[in-house]
């Protein structure tokens, strides 16, 4: 479902993503884990076709992110770091608008909107203007627009950022349930989030993938925490320790 090979991205002279390779199979929920500035968003933006790679290749749902970007866009649901809401629309109007753009059949649109309002816990704010939503609600509406068209692949950049603890639990449950019919890639800097939600982890540190593993392959002797702390670079250890201890 997602195949990334030797992906690189430079901003001027600065190499933000270096030779990144990993894969996600159908039904996987992959945690893309790394400290601030590791290259998560840059990689995710390339996979979502919003940023051209400097070199390397990536396919999503079987299509190349550069040569077949339109095909990729049709098959993914993407929640960027800042959800792309239109302030002057109500939540319901916005979801209707997004659903139409993403090709949800007219006859199913109303019921699909009701379903995502329910699943993302935003029924109560359906008639509020997007510009009046709090950060946590913006995030939830962002998630709703990412899944409204039943995409094969869902790519989420820090989906629980800005949510309160109760919302975090609800959204993590939602993401887990999405894994049943979708492939999910989510970035996070919160290690316990990966243990709770994902079945696979890809750790990125200073632009490089330093580990890719199924959580079931990690043993009791070698916990995710240990592997994470051992695999990040020396000068990221303090940041990485913060990731381990956050958001449990
Ligand atoms: N447009 C840009 N121009 C120059 N440098 C950039 C640009 N975008 C990102 N960077 C740099 O690339 C590196 C990777 O950034 P990126 O946003 O991908 O990290 P991240 O892992 O998503 O971090 P965070 O956890 O803070 O969201 C950082 O050093 C960042 O400063
Ligand atoms: Mg980021």
* Segment 200-235, tens digit of pLDDT: 999 999 999 999 999 888 766 677 777 777 777 666
Taking the model in full, what pTM does it have? 0.91
The model's pLDDT over 25-69, given as tens digits with 9 standing for 90+, comes to: 999 999 999 988 999 999 999 999 999 999 999 999 999 999 999
Indicate which atom in ligand 1 lies nearest the CA of residue 34: 21
Q: Determine the Cα–Cα distance for residues 46 and 105; give it in Å rounded to an integer.
A: 28
Q: Determine the Cα–Cα distance for residues 192 and 242; give it in Å rounded to an integer.
A: 11
Residue whose Cα lies nearest atom 18 of ligand 1: it is 39
Q: Is 133 in the pocket of ligand 1 (CB under 6 A)?
A: no
3-state secondary structure of 104: coil
Helices (H), 179-235: 191-197, 224-231
Helices (H), the chain: 40-47, 69-75, 91-101, 106-119, 135-147, 165-178, 191-197, 224-231, 237-245
The CATH architecture assigned to 2-83+153-245 reads: 3-Layer(aba) Sandwich (3.40)
Q: Where are the domains of the chain?
A: 2-83+153-245
Q: So what's the pLDDT on residue 247?
A: 55
Burial class (CB in 10 A: 0-12, 13-18, 19+), 29: buried
Q: Determine the distance from the C-alpha atom of residue 64 to the mean position of all C-alpha atoms in its chain, rounded to a whole number.
A: 19
Q: Is 39 in the pocket of ligand 1 (CB under 6 A)?
A: yes
Using only C-alpha atoms, the chain has a radius of gyration, in whole angstroms, of 18
Tally of CB atoms within 10 A around 73: 17
Q: Is 182 in the pocket of ligand 1 (CB under 6 A)?
A: no
Q: Determine the distance from the C-alpha atom of residue 108 to the mean position of all C-alpha atoms in its chain, rounded to a whole number.
A: 26
């Amino acid at each position: 479902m997602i195949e990334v090979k030797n992906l690189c991205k430079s901003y001027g002279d600065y190499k933000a993503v270096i030779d990144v390779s990993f894969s996600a199979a159908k039904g996987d929920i992959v945690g893309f884990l790394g400290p601030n500035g590791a290259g998560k968003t840059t990689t995710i933006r390339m996979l979502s076709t919003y940023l051209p790679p400097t070199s390397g290749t990536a396919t999503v749902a079987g299509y190349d992110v550069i040569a077949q970007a339109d095909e990729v866009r049709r098959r993914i649901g993407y929640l960027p770091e800042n959800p792309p809401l239109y302030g002057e629309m109500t939540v319901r109007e916005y979801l209707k608008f997004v659903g139409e753009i993403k090709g949800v059949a007219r006859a199913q649109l109303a019921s699909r909107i009701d379903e995502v309002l329910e699943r993302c816990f935003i029924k109560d704010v359906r008639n509020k203007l997007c510009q009046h939503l709090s950060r946590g609600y913006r995030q939830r509406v962002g998630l709703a627009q990412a899944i409204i068209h039943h995409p094969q692949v869902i790519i989420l950049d820090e989906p629980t950022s800005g949510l309160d603890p109760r919302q975090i639990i609800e959204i993590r449950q939602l993401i887990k349930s999405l894994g049943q019919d979708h492939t999910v890639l989510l970035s996070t800097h919160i290690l316990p989030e990966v243990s709770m939600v994902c079945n696979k982890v890809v750790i990125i540190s200073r632009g490089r993938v330093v580990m890719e593993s199924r959580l079931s392959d990690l043993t009791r002797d070698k916990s995710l925490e240990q592997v994470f702390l051992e695999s990040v670079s020396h000068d990221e250890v303090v940041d990485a320790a913060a990731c381990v201890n956050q958001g449990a």
